[in-house]
Amino acid sequence: MATERSLLHILCIHGYRQNGQTFRERTGAFRKLVKSHAKFVFITAPNVVPPLPSDTKNDQDQRGWWFSRQDDYFNAQDDSHCDKGYENSLQIIKETCKTEGPFDGILGFSQGASMVSLILSLQTLQKEPSFQFKFAILVAGFKSKSVQHASLYETKIDIPTLHVFGENDKVIESAMSEELLKDYSNAKTLKHSGGHYIPATTDQKSVYLEFLQSRIVA
């Protein structure tokens, strides 16, 4: 079993309409699977997402990493000339790296995974010294369609990555995750039969542990 000192230190970037706490709760099964290899830090995006009419009291404090429209709305499928809130989000992540890092890796889910892909591009292009991630896990990731981010997809990323996506994901279709995957030259994939979540059964455990173990050895 790994000691506290040898555990990988991983920064976690939640999905749209989540926050750090809700993402932590939803990753409980995953964290249990890999507890011998990693410890996690969860942060919350600065941008407050307007509630939906169907939201309950349990849906309070929903956040996003950027909006694809000026009226605080986001849709991963929409071509956009807006990335409202992105710079504020980037600043919070940079500050967290400085105050709670260094981090070995970074994990992102859905819009959070898209944010991670932008962070890895900035690191690869050496545009942000705060980012020194050795690996990343992207779950239900996709390419941002905000034109402001287009230049960040012009360079291949060779940072080791694990891309996780579901064949029956109705929120971020698997084709969107596969499109993002093309930008990575040192990637492993974990495709599962489910939907929009982080799979955490014994079927996936060996893949997670093999990927993380290789990072400890490296």
Give the active site residue among 83, 104, 169, 183: 169
Give the active site residue among 9, 72, 174, 196: 196
Query: Among this protein's residues, is 196 annotated catalytic?
Result: yes
Give the active site residue among 68, 80, 110, 144: 110
Query: Among this protein's residues, is 110 annotated catalytic?
Result: yes
Buried b (16+ CB within 10 A) or exposed e, 62-95: bbbbbbbeeeeebebeeebebbbbbeebbeebbe
**Closest among 27, 89, 28, 75 to 171, alpha carbons compared:** 75
3-state SS of the chain? CCCCCCCEEEEEECCCCECHHHHHHHCHHHHHHCCCCEEEEEECCCEECCCCCCCCHHHCCCEECCECECCCECCCCCCECCCECHHHHHHHHHHHHHHHCCCCEEEEECHHHHHHHHHHHHHHCCCCCCCCCCEEEEECCCCCCEHHHHHHHCCCECCCEEEEEECCCCCCCHHHHHHHHCCECCEEEEEECCCCCCCCCHHHHHHHHHHHHHHHHC
Active site residues: 110, 169, 196
